[in-house]
């Protein structure tokens, strides 16, 4: 029974968001408005994230851009066999970014970025049908990335640098489907870990065979965040030898997968730019969650996830309408990394179609206002999670999920 109560207790790496897995595709308003393309686009210091090799091609000596997004998402769950339903009531997510670049000379540029490519927040109703898997979760990972960009010729450049990550998670679920104290309050556990840090790296290349055509490639390494001595707090647990749970600490790991992006951008008719990115996220690094509790009375837990590698196809279009306004639109298709039989309510996301739009307003020669809008529609799916066990037997949790999300964004770009 103790093992039953602990399975999937720590869903550190299974947060809900609007991209594959728990990846957040909101790293710049200019790029998002163009379907989140950017590996071959040079228009601001957003290249720190999308392809640092592009910084050396920026026209201005100094380029600073920053902004944020409001994320509004919902998940509707229904089990037609049991009649159970649930709807998430999640607070507004607020991912952000800040990038800066400085042109040292004709062949060298330096950059720095602070951004949030992983994270989410979701809350289900109390004691809903899947509360033994998740009640609420708040996951955040902040990346800090110093960057160097070097032009090897007029047609080819490289760039990259180290990445410092600081992550945190707070997660709550009921211990199982029935356990409660004498007052009828459901037994639950909350796990919390902050200040989880690790280093990674990123590298990119950019090739300009003609004046109008740019080809780019970018790689970001996997980063395994190891949470050590996190807090596990148990509440409403009955005083029984069958439930000997007391507050303790734990160790666990959060995999942030490696990514490879290749793409191209082509300028035509003076005012138009079209871009395409292909992104491959190597989610197969996330095979399971292994939870090591410090209390020897609480057995360690093994939770299979069996994610698969997933691809994203991004398309973007830009039009310089006037000297004051630049218009953008885009689309991307995002594959889910979740495999059959492991569709958890912590990550109720299927393949999705995303539609984007936005514009830049040139206030002065040095100041721009960037705006964007994203709408994501997830394919409705009837699926189950079969990684949870009761009394040594698989206890599948099945249902139909409908999900959607939208996100307005606003940013500022300063250049001189």
**Residue ranges per structural domain of the chain:** 2-415
In angstroms, rounded to a whole number, what is the distance separating the alpha carbons of residues 349 and 293? 29
- Cite the beta strand spans of 257-338 per DSSP E: 259-268, 272-281, 288-293, 301-304, 310-320, 325-334
Q: What is the pTM of this model?
A: 0.89
53 Cβ contact list (under 8 Å, min separation 6):
47, 149, 157, 158, 159, 160, 204, 205, 206, 216, 218
List per-residue pLDDT tens for the chain, 416 residues long.
Answer: 333 333 333 333 333 344 555 788 899 999 999 999 999 999 999 999 999 999 999 999 999 999 999 988 888 888 888 888 888 876 677 899 999 999 999 999 999 999 999 876 778 887 888 888 888 877 788 999 999 999 999 999 999 999 999 988 888 888 888 888 888 889 888 888 888 999 999 999 999 999 999 999 999 999 998 888 889 888 888 877 666 778 889 888 878 899 999 999 999 999 999 999 999 999 999 888 777 878 887 766 677 788 999 999 999 999 999 999 999 999 999 999 988 888 877 766 788 999 999 999 999 999 999 999 999 988 888 888 888 877 777 888 888 888 888 999 999 999 99
Strands 301-304 and 288-293: antiparallel
CATH fold group of domain 2-415: Porin (2.40.160)
């Amino acid at each position: 029974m103790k093992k039953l109560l602990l399975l999937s207790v720590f869903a550190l790496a299974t947060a809900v968001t609007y991209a594959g897995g728990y990846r957040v595709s909101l790293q710049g308003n200019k790029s998002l408005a163009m379907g989140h393309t950017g590996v071959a686009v040079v228009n601001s210091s957003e290249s720190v994230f999308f392809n640092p090799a592009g910084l050396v091609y920026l026209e201005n000596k100094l380029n600073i851009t920053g902004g944020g997004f409001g994320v509004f998402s919902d998940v509707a769950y229904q089990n037609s066999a049991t009649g159970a339903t649930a709807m998430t009531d999640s607070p507004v997510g607020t991912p952000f970014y800040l990038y800066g670049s400085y042109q040292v000379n004709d062949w060298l540029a330096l950059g720095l970025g602070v951004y949030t490519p992983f994270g989410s927040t979701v809350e289900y109703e109390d004691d809903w049908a899947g509360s033994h898997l998740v009640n609420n979760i708040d996951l955040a990972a902040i990346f800090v990335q110093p960057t160097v960009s070097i032009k090897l010729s007029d047609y080819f450049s490289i760039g990259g640098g180290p990445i410092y990550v600081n992550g945190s998670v707070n997660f709550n679920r009921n211990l199982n489907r029935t356990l409660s104290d004498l007052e009828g309050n459901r037994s639950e556990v909350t796990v919390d870990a902050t200040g989880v840090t690790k280093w990674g790296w990123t590298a990119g290349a950019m090739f300009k065979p003609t004046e109008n055509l740019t080809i780019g490639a970018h790689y970001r390494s996997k980063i395994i965040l190891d949470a050590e001595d996190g807090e596990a707090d148990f509440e409403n647990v009955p005083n029984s030898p069958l439930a000997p749970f007391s507050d303790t600490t734990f160790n666990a790991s959060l995999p942030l997968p490696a990514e490879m992006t290749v793409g191209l951008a082509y300028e035509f008719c003076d005012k138009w730019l079209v871009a395409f990115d292909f992104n491959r996220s190597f989610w197969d690094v996330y095979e399971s969650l292994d939870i090591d509790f410090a209390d020897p009375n609480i057995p360690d837990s093994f939770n299979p996830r069996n994610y698969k590698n997933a691809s994203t196809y991004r398309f973007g279009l830009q039009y310089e309408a006037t000297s004051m306004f630049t218009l953008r639109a885009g689309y991307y298709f995002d594959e889910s990394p979740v495999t059959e039989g492991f569709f958890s309510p912590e990550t109720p996301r299927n393949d999705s179609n995303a539609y984007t739009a936005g514009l830049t307003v040139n206030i002065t020669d040095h100041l721009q206002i960037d705006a964007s809008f994203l709408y994501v529609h997830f394919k409705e799916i009837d699926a189950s999670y079969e990684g949870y066990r009761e009394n040594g037997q698989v206890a599948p949790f099945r249902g139909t999920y409908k999900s959607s999300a939208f996100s307005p964004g606003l940013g500022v770009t300063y250049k001189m």
